[in-house]
Structure 1
């Protein structure tokens, strides 16, 4: 509902919810989802802990809201990346690279959205996945929806796995450049789809 149509009480509630989420997300960005403390958020807001429960039923509900916001921010980033590329292959590359860059820029938000149970059920979780599925379909995935979904999910799991390894510092000491490894996987993805287009449908 537009702000001007809300009652004074509703406008106050909306602003308070936004401020609570901002304070909570600052904690998540600093120390990860596990660092979120409702008591600390309440102190930041200069309110009592019981008063905070008038806006969120508990820590899990607040984390789910933050995960939804993170998913929407990621989706907008991926949509912008797709819109800025001219060809199907370049759109796929742009979306994949933007996905990693977003994760590296805000690793704890990425963990909340993509590696926590709160992110799995959050509103907006499907929107960022839809961007990947759309560019995969356009670049040459199987023509039916089930094939696109299968191909897209398999490749998403590979990209997500590489990002998770990088964020967890698991590539340190291996002599492997995680950025080069990631881009190599993206090119494998592009080549695989290109070969599907060249080969045509199976008979």
Structure 2
């Protein structure tokens, strides 16, 4: 049965929600999550505050909605970076580079999605945020799986069961070892990005781009060392 076209009222609601989120994203990019104000958004749209609250129950709900959009936008960027490369190992590097480039270009968006509870699926929009964030992880795990399997590492039984349960969820099942390898390396790359954005590496005098690149090469090297994944 074909889907029904949205009614005039539904179209107006969707348009208004999009305008509210666009205004909130402008505030976020300018000054961070702390500066997002529903009252200011209402004024900019010539709405009353009570009218705006008919679309979002509160600031937390709006920020969670932005986090969903941010995760999806980052996933799009990672997928595009992967698609530009033909070599499996080059795709790993391209996705990792795109992750850092995106974060440096949009630090406040990155912070909301990855360094606050708003983007963690802990309190708000849990299913939508988890699904959107998983798209980013799926891109990373997918290119790693194409490049080769990592060395087998013994894991505590509880951790092994947790990773197998996660890998057996809605995402496609990946070869044993890839999900753990991906989680560990994603955490390492994410840690470097967070330290760089926070200015914590500036005093070291170290070239952060070069440091990040060496981590990517180390990740690829561990794959090549065991499986010769150079294709």
Give the TM-score category using the shorter length.
over 0.9
Q: TM-score under structure 2 normalisation?
A: 0.82
Match of 1:152 among 161, 164, 182: 182
Aligned to 1:57: 57
Equivalent pairs counted in the alignment come to: 198
Runs (4+) of structure 1 exceeding 2 A deviation are 141-146
Displacement of 1:34: 1.5
Query: What is the SS of the residue equivalent to 2:200?
Result: coil
TM-score of the aligned structures, taking structure 1 as reference length: 0.93
Tell me how far apart the structure 2 counterparts of residues 186 and 162 of structure 1 sit (CA, whole Å): 11
**C-alpha deviation, 1:4, in angstroms:** 8.3
Unaligned runs of 5+ in 2: 122-128, 153-173
Partners of 1:127 and 1:62 lie apart in 2 by: 21
Q: How does 1:103-142 map to 2 (within 5 A)?
A: 103-121=103-121, 122=129, 123-142=131-150
- 2:195 is equivalent to residue 165 of structure 1: yes
- Listed as ranges, the gaps of 5+ residues in structure 1 are none
The CA deviation at 1:134 is 0.5
Structure 1 equivalent of residue 23 of structure 2: 23
Residue 141 of structure 1: CA displacement?
2.5
The residue that corresponds to 2:73 in the other structure is: 73
Matched position secondary structure for 2:56: coil
Q: Aligned with 2:202: secondary structure?
A: coil
Shift of 1:36: 1.0
